[in-house]
Amino acid sequence: MDFEAISNKLLEALGGVDNIVTNEACMTRLRVGVRDMSLVNMEAIKSVDGVMGVVQSDTLQIVFGPGTVNKVLDAFTSLTGIPKGGSGSDVAAVAKHNKADQSERYGNPLQRFLKRVANIFVPLLPGIIAAGLINGIANVVNVATGGALGGTWWYETIRTMGWALFAYLPIFVGYNAVREYGGSPILGGIAGAACVAHASMPLLATNGDAQVLLPLTHAPYNPGSGGLVAALLAGALFAWLERRLHAVMPSLIDTFVTPLSVLALGSLALVLVLQPVGAVLTKGIYVVMEFVYERMGVIGGYVLAAGFLPLVSVGLHQALTPIHVMLNDPAGPTMGVNYLLPVLMMSGGGQVGAGLALFLRTKSKKLKGYIRDSIPVGILGVGEPLMYAVTLPLGRPFVTACLGAGVGGMLATLFHLGAISQGVSGLFGVLIVQPGQQAAYVVSLLGACACGFVLTWLFGIDDERIEELYGA
């Protein structure tokens, strides 16, 4: 595959280098921000070699699949001159130019907020995945060896990398949140740091034997009480404060007075308001998860698993990342066990089953080729190529895949499956489920696959639609 040629064609279809604002990638998608959507040729993008689909959101999300997207990004950034995850020089002007169009195009305020959350966490995914795998594998190793490697320098060095990301994740969330909302990222990083407990933090210091007490609660400050939610809210607030102050501050003193004022005023709001609000919202998330998972039981499992693929199809699944991170927090109510993730991972099984049924039933060579190329990575947990190239365009198989996934979600709930980390799914999910649950996880995944297969075989085949899209 000629990645330079692919990037050149993409750049032309996107309106040229002057129309590119940002470029970055997640596991399967090249995310490109553009100045003027009217210059973008969507059909030309879809016809580029390797492109499996395009999601039009606040950025254009061009689906290539795992591994491939990183090579495309390398070639693409060399053409645009914009760093990975970076932006051009006139982002503020572009944001102002597109504000009305974006508001009209991308739905209600809740949907736009979730897209912003996704944008905040997407650049963090490589670290979250790597650190999550380190923690998950280390937990399995500790159980299997009885902690025999504890105290070994190289083992503890690797474990430190897994610990570091989650210990200081609020800093990165705050940094990206301010950048997403149009402020100076470093100010958000400082806000996030205030959400990380550290023994030398002045607010946690003692005068004699007395701790510093806050005025409203008359209790000591608890840096981690609001968690990632407080860091995200603080980032949004700090960016808003900075923009407002820039607008009214005289140029002569703007450079140093504005950031000073943001930190001074923002810190008071963070400690007195945002941390308590973040704590309430965090607790609320746990309550909702507990209700759906524990009270609704298998019905809740079915709804969660069946509804996950539509979330992925519009790119909003990344908004669940902070929830997964909170559920994997060893200090949280679930003691670091994420009961939501295994249920959602059943969506991949439903899709694989639907793909297999289509492969066996269809006579279209082109469709068979797409399925043949997509099924292996689908089995390993990357379902987007199969979804964007096959099930979603056809419609019916997408619905039957969702319904089949719901059965897997019911089984995952019955088996009370829990993940000790995140970052992988599909067959690789056996690496992150709790030790001893691997067989139950495989049974649940096979159940989703079987039901997706049967439902698609019986109700998901539309030969006319297949011929229309892929030919005979």
Q: Which helix (H) or strand (E) holds 349?
A: helix 340-361
Q: Which of 26, 195, 402, 451 is catalytic?
A: 26
Contact 112, 106 (CB under 8 A): yes
> Which of 412-416's residues contact partners 24+ apart within 8 Å by CB, and which partners?
412/301, 412/305, 412/342, 412/343, 412/345, 412/346, 412/441, 412/444, 413/293, 413/297, 413/298, 413/300, 413/301, 413/343, 414/298, 414/301, 415/440, 415/441, 415/443, 415/444, 416/339
Q: Quote the CA–CA distance of 340 and 345 in Å, as a whole number.
A: 9
SS3 content of the chain, % helix, strand, coil (to 5): 70, 5, 25
Q: Quote the CA–CA distance of 123 and 33 in Å, as a whole number.
A: 14
Contact 115, 181 (CB under 8 A): no
402 is catalytic: no
Helices (H), 168-224: 169-180, 185-193
Instruction: Provide the annotated active-site residues.
Output: 26
